[in-house]
Amino acid sequence: MTKTSTTPLILSGITVAENVRKNIKLEVDEIRSKEQRLPGLAVVLVGENPASLIYVKNKEKACINIGIHSEVYQLPTNTSESELIKLIQTLNINEKIDGILIQLPLPIHIKVENIIKEIDPNKDVDGLHPTNLGKLLSGQDCLKPCTPLGVIEILKYYSINLNSMSSVIVGRSTLVGKPLGMMLLNENATVTITHSKTENIEEITSCADLLISAIGKPNLIKRTWVKKGAIVIDVGINRITENDKTKLCGDIDFEDVKSICHAITPVPGGVGPMTIAMLMSNTLKAYKKQR
């Protein structure tokens, strides 16, 4: 990879996601040509969170485009934990369904952990069941959380060698930061995970050859946080208002950082498109496992 000091390599999640989808579609087409049962994904939405409604629509669209059988279950906000668990138990034994995704966040009266643990780990395409997280921790093959999986896919697509790379993740959520740390470790990177209680955080991030942010704080990370020549991955998706217009931005101040880093993901168009692509990939993986 070569670049000048002012033009970083743009790591395009749009390109990588397209490539992932293309390969999955080829496999699904082949399954169809053999007249076998198609992979199936069930998405469960509780309530009417506007962002969740859009995400669920996008997941349904992605399934249709690839040829994956899709079922969407929309339940009212006042659905009880036991009603939701009953639906999951039905989906666990539904032979048309290989993957079950519970759209988060759930209404506050439902405890996420109580729900996720009810999903058959073999159908847990979000990779958040304790069995899958445990397997990830011990380096075993498993279904892995989609967003961190998407980050690894971008790095691999651009032939970034993770072996012994000094990496710093900002953010330690179960959805992104922690599983990503495990995935990088499994790729032989050297990993530091930082969070809101980390002291002298800039000192730590500015030593990283690979810096990944997943915090949800618009444009917080400036060039002083970044090592010259680093690879920078921005998982953050934040909505900000500028001149009465709402736009998306990441955790990383792209304009400030772009002149000193070697490569960077934009927002939008970086990690964002990868999440659904990796969900499709996990659904195909779950299908193959179940067959």
Binding residues for ligand NAP, how many (CB under 6 A)?
A: 25
What is the distance between the alpha carbons of residues 214 and 43, in angstroms, rounded to a whole number?
24
- 171 belongs to the binding site for ligand NAP (CB under 6 A): yes
Neighbours of 72 (CB within 10 A): 16
Q: Of 272, 281, 285, 287, which one interacts with ligand NAP (CB under 6 A)?
A: 272
Residue 223 in contact with ligand NAP, rule: CB under 6 A: no
167, 275, 281, 283: residue in contact with ligand NAP (rule CB under 6 A): 275
**How many C-beta neighbours within 10 Å does residue 188 have?**
12
Other Cβ atoms within 10 Å of 15 Cβ, number: 15
**Residue of 91, 113, 138 whose CA lies nearest to 290:** 91
* Contact flag: residue 215 with ligand NAP (CB under 6 A): yes
CA-CA-CA-CA dihedral for 55, 57, 60, 66, to nearest 10: -80
- Please identify, using beta-carbon distances, which residue of 31 and 63 lies nearer to ligand NAP: 63
Task: Please select the residue that binds ligand NAP; options are 106, 214, 264, 279, rule is CB under 6 A.
Answer: 214
Tokens standing for residue 253: 């101040």
Buried b or exposed e, range 39-51, using 16+ CB within 10 angstroms: bbbbbbbbbebee
| CB contact at 8 A, 128 and 116 | yes
173 binds ligand NAP (CB under 6 A): yes
Answer for which of 47, 238, 269, 290 binds ligand NAP (CB under 6 A) is 238
* Residue whose CB is less far from ligand NAP, 31 or 143: 143
Q: Tell me how far, at minimum, the Cβ of 177 lies from ligand NAP, in Å.
A: 6
- 170 sits near ligand NAP (criterion: CB under 6 A): yes
Cα–Cα distances in Å, from 116 out to 58, 109, 126, 127? Answer: 22, 15, 9, 10
According to the binding rule CB under 6 A, does residue 235 interact with ligand NAP? yes
Applying CB under 6 A, which of residues 195, 222, 228, 247 lies at the interface with ligand NAP? 195
- Of the pair 26, 207, the CB lying nearest ligand NAP is at 207
Among the listed residues 173, 153, 175, 155, the one whose alpha carbon sits nearest the alpha carbon of residue 165:
155
Which string of b and e fits 112-149 if b means at least 16 CB within 10 Å? Answer: eeebbbbbbbbbbbbbbbebbbebbeeeeebbbbbbbb
Please report whether residue 219 would count as binding ligand NAP according to CB under 6 A: no
Give yes or no for residue 147 binding ligand NAP (CB under 6 A): yes
Query: Is 87 or 169 the residue whose CB approaches ligand NAP more closely?
Result: 169
Which residue stretch of 20-28, 35-43, 84-92, 169-177 sits at the interface with ligand NAP (rule: CB under 6 A)?
169-177
Instruction: Tell me which residues are annotated as active site.
Output: 59, 103, 126
- Is residue 245 part of the contact set for ligand NAP (CB under 6 A)? no
Backbone angles phi, psi at 73, to 5 degrees: -115, 110
Q: Does 236 bind ligand NAP (CB under 6 A)?
A: yes
Which positions touch ligand NAP (CB under 6 A)? 147, 170-173, 175-177, 194-197, 201, 214-217, 220, 235-238, 271-272, 275
